[in-house]
Structure 1
Amino acid sequence: MTRNSTIICKNCENTFEKCFKFCPHCGQQAKDNLTVGVLFYNTISNYFSFDARFFKSFLPLMLKPGYLAKKFVGGKRLLYLHPAQLYLFISVIFFFLMSTLIVRENVQNIDKALKNAAVEPYVLDSLKTETTKVLDSVKIDSVLTPLNNISFKEINNDNVKVLDSLIKTEVEGGSVLQSDFGYNFRNVDSLVASGASDKEIYKVMGMEDNAGYLKRKFYAQTLKFLKQRNGGQIVQAAYDAIPVALFILLPIFALILKMLFYRKGTYAYHLVFSFYYFAFLFTVFSVILVVNTMIDIPGWIESLVILSTFFYLLVAVKQFYENGWLSSFIKTWLISFLYLSFVLPIAFLVLIFVGFLFY
């Protein structure tokens, strides 16, 4: 082999014959001239495997339930796109659409509604009282109860503001919104408006001095919410946590499949099925989001589309696990019942809690 008949790979620097289109050592193209098209294609294909396998996989994914999963576990692992890659690509598109078309608008609407619904607190300046009202000893005792942990030697300007606000609230009377956590929202609003310190407000809210980190965090976030009225940010944080949650929810879905079809292969087999099914779900939801931006889809049509995902799962279970129709229907119903009745509600509550703690 002469030197003129060989070239050196620019990537791995090994020598190979000029007639090769790809380096036999690393696989890079022999003549990989950098253009905008090449740069775009390489970026997409490297991160999302956006190549011919995607198009070969997409139609069977939508029209042949269970087909891709069955072929993949059967050994055809290069002809179609890898299940995890297909799921990743479609989920990225779905969350981008959801964030663009739904989340941003919902967050703005929630923040606007909360600010419009904010109740003006009662605030009293002890040096500029227009009218003097006399409270009996029982009334005074009820007002001072939230401050029972403060001795009179410790009273300072912040304590005076607290006392003024509470007295004003009690004297004015009227309906008062009481929280389920043992404190009065109007009292807290009054303290916030009067400029009381967070420490004093926490006392009125009922937080103990020896409260743990999680409890302190909860009270801090509650006070932050009452001050800023930005509940939309809680929703935003919950939405942001969904992609992370799905890395747990999808394996749980596969675990349910494993329990119901414990003789039908290892856990990895059920995970393959789950990747393809969730990719299908995200595709359907993405189409609904896009179509809804162009026309207002009637609710009954959306309900039918969502119901169709159950029948898709039924056919997929029938084809992949090779069970009879009755057995497939019963197990598909069990899968849907367990997932929708237990897994998703718990996940939803966790997302809201996480969103509240970290917004």
Structure 2
Amino acid sequence: MKKEKRKTKNCLNCEFPLKSTFEYCPQCGQENTDNQISFGKLIKDFFANYFSLDSRFGRSVHPFFLKPGILTRAFMEGKRVKYANPIRLYLVVSLIHFFFFSINMDGKSDKNEGIIKQSTSDSSDNAPAIVTETDDLDSLDNSWPISGKEWGIISRMSRDKAADYSIRQIEDSIHNELKPFAAAYINRQIIKLSKSDMPAINRYIVKNIPILMFFLLPVYALLLKVFFSKRLYINHIIHSLHLHSFAFIALTFLWIIGLISSSWADTVDIVFLIAIMGYLVISFKNTYQLSLMKAFYKVFLSGFLYTIIMGLSLFFGVVISLLFY
């Protein structure tokens, strides 16, 4: 039996005066009832508000997957209410993508196949690859920020699980407090990393990648602006959101396959790469009204430049992550 609504005189959300005939608040849109919300209603509201499972989402699915570039083109033509909000689409897709990506990277890290790999010479220990002893320590004595002998001390003390030296004890052993601020800070980070296990380090780095990718979105849009200068920059932002969303969806399926079987993922990864490239070409063609060959050329050139930018960004992103680990 359906539970009868107990209506209120004022909206419980914004306190706007309500008539008894009002089913919803005309000011904020909240339902006019003081009944406690059910768990099912809470889940339904979550999907409705954050995953935008409404008519706009339904209208967006077909052109998004089967007519690349049409959604961006519609935005350029002013049709911005008919289809799903591109920012919300990207946020939802990236949330799902990076969830499976992090799980996939956790599995790779456990097999020493993560972003940062453990030195094979120290495979029985947990010390990261960047902390290893050298055959000729004396030859590095004058290196900055740490000498060869200090490398050896940090490496030995970090791997000594029986003594379990603290970070402060290892710092004291190399007289880190006497070094300049920058050198002392870097040495402290080296010690932290050497005492951490590789999966933990990789998880920390992976956690920061979604933030990095979000900031790369406008960079890619800027590249598109260079190639299509007559278009407004906001149009390239929307196109960048749509293209990244599709790439994340395709990669999500690849991560899921990798969780089932890594050998399958290694076999079909080229298929997903071709699918993404094909999507980009058609999207360029439809969005900017290009011939197929011209679209392919601009996808290839912009993709080449973006790959370089992304590679450098990921490299510096890893370095910054390690500096603040």
Q: Same fold (TM over 0.5)?
A: yes
- Which one-letter code corresponds to 2:313 in the other structure? A
Equivalent residue letter for 1:331: K
Partners of 1:53 and 1:268 in 2: how far apart? 21
Segment of structure 1 superposing worse, 9-18 or 305-314: 9-18
Instruction: Give the structure 2 partner of residue 103 of structure 1.
Output: 105
Whether 2:264 is the aligned partner of 1:297: answer yes
Match of 1:218 in 2: 186
- State the partner residue of 1:183: 148
- Asked if residue 65 in structure 1 is aligned to residue 84 in structure 2, the reply is no
TM-score (norm 2): 0.77
Partner deviation per Cα, 1:132-172 (whole Å, 9 max, x = no partner): xxxxxxxxxxxxxxxxxxxxxxxxxxxxxxxxxxxxx9xxx
Q: Deviations over 1:42-80 (max 9, x none)?
A: 122223323333233233222111111111232222221
Measured after TM superposition, the shift of residue 277 of structure 1 is: 0.8
Letter in 1 for 2:189: Q
Q: 1:13-60: CA deviations, max 9, x gaps?
A: 334573x65444333345696333321111222233233332332332
**Contact 1:234/1:352, CA 8 A, preserved across alignment:** no
Q: Judge conservation of contact 1:235–1:355 (CA < 8 Å) in 2.
A: no
State whether structure 2 residue 313 is matched by structure 1 residue 310.
no
What letter matches 2:321 in structure 1?
Answer: G
1:249 to 212, 216, 221: 216
Equivalents in 1 of 2:243, 2:18: separation in Å?
Answer: 45
TM-score by length of 1: 0.70
* Superposition map of 1:321-336 within 5 A: 321-336=288-303
Q: Which residue of 2 aligns with 1:273?
A: 239
TM-aligned CA deviation for residue 243 of structure 1: 1.2
The CA deviation string for residues 167-208 of structure 1, in whole angstroms up to 9 with x for no partner, is xx9xxxx945777865154354356669794445445xxx79
Higher relative contact order by CA 8 Å / sep ≥ 6: 1 or 2? 1
Contact 1:256 1:335 in 2 (8 A): yes
**Correspondence 1:78 to 2:47:** no
Equivalent position amino acid for 1:75 in 2: G
Q: What is the DSSP-based 3-state SS (H/G/I as helix, E as strand, rest coil) of the residue aligned with 1:284?
A: helix
Matched residue, 1:356: 322
**One-letter identity of the residue aligned with 1:78:** V
- Classify 1:304/1:208 alpha carbon distance in 2 versus 1 (closer, same or farther; 3 Å): same
In 2, Cα distance between equivalents of 1:76 and 1:21: 30
Change (3 A) 1:217 1:281: same
Find the aligned partners of 1:343 and 1:113 in 2 and give their Cα distance. Answer: 26
Q: Residue 53 of structure 1 aligns with which residue?
A: 56
- CA contact 1:235–1:352 (8 Å) conserved in 2: no
Tell me if structure 1 keeps the 8 A contact 2:153–2:174.
Answer: no
1:245/1:287 CA distance change after superposition, 3 Å: same
State the Cα distance separating 1:7 from its structure 2 match: 8.1
Distance 1:333 1:29, change over 3 A: same
Q: Offset of 1:113 from its aligned partner?
A: 5.8
Query: Which residue is 2:43 aligned to?
Result: 40
1:257, distance to aligned residue in structure 2 (A): 0.6
Q: Which segment is superposed worse, 38-47 or 183-192?
A: 183-192
Number of equivalent positions: 293
Secondary structure of 1:282's counterpart equals: helix
| 2:264 alignment partner, SS class | coil
Aligned residues: CA RMSD: 3.4
Question: Match of 2:197?
Answer: 230
2:130 is matched with none
Question: Residue 277 of structure 1 contacts residue 313 of structure 1 at CA under 8 Å; is this kept in 2?
Answer: yes
For structure 1, list consecutive stretches of 5 or more residues without a partner in the other structure. Answer: 1-5, 121-168
Structure 2 counterpart SS, 1:77: coil
- The equivalent of 1:14 in structure 2 is 17
Task: Tell me which stretches of 4 or more aligned residues in structure 1 moved more than 6 Å.
Answer: 177-180
